[in-house]
Structures are given as structure tokens and as C-alpha cells.
Chains A and B, each alone.
Chain A
Amino acid sequence: MNADRALRDPHDDGLNDHAREQIEASLAAHAGRPGPLLQVLHEVQDRLGYVPAAAVPVIAEALNVSRAEVHGVVTFYHHFRQSPAGRHVIQLCQAEACRAMHCEQLTQHAQRKLGIGLHETTADGRYTLEPVYCLGNCACSPAMMIDGRLYGRVTPESFDDLIAPLS
């Protein structure tokens, strides 16, 4: 939540200049197309790392929909974040094919190693750990994604090796 506060100008309840610029650029990139809300939210999250609560009324007004509608879409989809993630997002697959290769054990190892649970971020802001339901790497389970990079046949040892160099 600190970063959420950092985005705001203390003299204003709205967004700081940088965040406002990014949101307006996101709107400009998609607003003219049919049914643009999901694409706008993707763009905002790609630029800011999450969708700040203060962005909701700005997007709603620009697209001429209610705040409730924008909030409803943000909260419906697992992908959209309402608060910033850690510097590195680690997604561990929990679906059937990975279960067949005992991903629960890998998940437990990861939680112990990082000292956090799923959907949590380490206190130093380095890692966020998340469950994911299928990365399409099911013949090489268990699968994991770190910052958009896919890994297969992950073991506790290879997990440790992969996260160690991330700062």
C-alpha cells in the first residue's frame, strides 16, 4: 500500500502526474475501439504495475461507463492487481497435470523458502508468490513462471537456483 500512497500527490486525493499521464496514454491507445475496457486495464497494469483505485473513476469517465462497471471488471479477473506486486512475480502452477507431479510439495518448499504464503509479497518487496491454473507446459510439470519466463520440471533445488540471482 506504500507505493499506492507514493503514486498520489499529498495535496490532492487523485493521482500524481506520472500515473495520470500513463492512464491517459492507456486510454488514448484503446478508447476508440469497440469494447475497450479490458484492453485499457491491461495497458494501465503494464505501465504502472497495477490498477490503482484512483484510476477507476478516470477510466470510467473516459469510457462513459459507471465506476461500478470498471471496478467490477478489475475484481472479476485474477490477472488485475489492485496493489503493486513485488519486483519479481513467481507463479506456481497448481492444476491437475502439475499435481500429478506433486506441485504441492514444490509450493510448500517455495512458501518456506520465501517465508510467505500464496498471494503474498516478501517484506523486502522482492518476491510475490502466486498460484496459477495452467501455463500450458503440462508435459513438463511442475511448471512455473517468473516475470513472464516459463520453466518446466521444476524441483526445489532448481527453484532455489532460479530465484537466487533475482534482486
Chain B
Amino acid sequence: MRRAELLMAIAMAIFSAYLMWMSAKLPIGWVPGRGPGGGSFPFWLSFAMLICTVWIIVRWFRRTTPQSRSSEPFFDSRSLTLVLLVIGALVTMVGSIYFIGVYGALPLFFVFYMRFLGRHSWAKTMTLALAAPVITFFFFEILLHITLPKGATETLFYPLYDIFM
């Protein structure tokens, strides 16, 4: 926990500096006839962010906050595995949308999550895995007219559009 606190503060300090650098591409001071420059607002706020991170780091050295005194691990290994697994599954799902579309990615995600993480019965898993895309299709595409990305499965939907739209 103690190390995580410092690492996060340093990461955020670097990020603030990066934001300042990016903001400074536009004028950060007063532009005659045009008022405060386009970069001024983000620049000075990023600067304030940097000051806050420095403040956090100073407190870390002085061990004034609970986090900087804590000797507990930031993650225990069991929850770390679990969290990483879930994040990995999410990234895979979103990535696969480009290829197999939302309607391909959703069932796979449900199968993975319910069957392999939740250990639910196949019957339950498949019911949800199949119901989810159907409900999504009718709710989003037909009712709300929001087209979701379909990747390679695009042409499969033409007949559905012909029927329902």
C-alpha cells in the first residue's frame, strides 16, 4: 500500500507535467484582443494537479497519511488474479467487437464469466448468453435506432433489418 501510494503520486505527477506540456501548445497567457489563451485553463489546472501530487509525495515522506504508513499489500494475490482475469476478459471482449461484432462478443463473454468464473449450470449460462444479444438487438437497434458495431457479422443482419425496419 505504501509503495502503491508513492507510485500513483509519481505517475500522476508525470501525467500532470505531460498535460501541462500539451496545454502549452496553445497560448497560456493573455492574448491581446482575444482574452485568455486556449491553453491557459488546462495549463494552470494541470499545474495545480502537479502541486497536489508534490504535496502527496511530501506527505508520503513524512508518513502523515494512513496509506503512507500502511504495511498491508496493495493487493493480495488471490484478488489480484481475479481482478486481472476480469479486466483481461473485458479487454478481450471489447477487442473482439471489431471482428465478431457486439452480437458475437456478448455471448462469449457471458459464457466465460458465468460458466468459468461463476460455475453456473450450462443451462443457465446458455439462456443468458443467448437472451442477451436478442434483447440488446431489439432494445437498441429496433426500439432506439442505435446501430451497434457488427464487424464481420454485418451482412448477417440485412435480413433482420428487412423484417424489422
Tell whether A pairs with B.
no
What residues of chain A have their CB less than 8 Å away from a CB belonging to chain B?
Answer: none
Contact surface of B with A, Cβ cutoff 8 Å? none
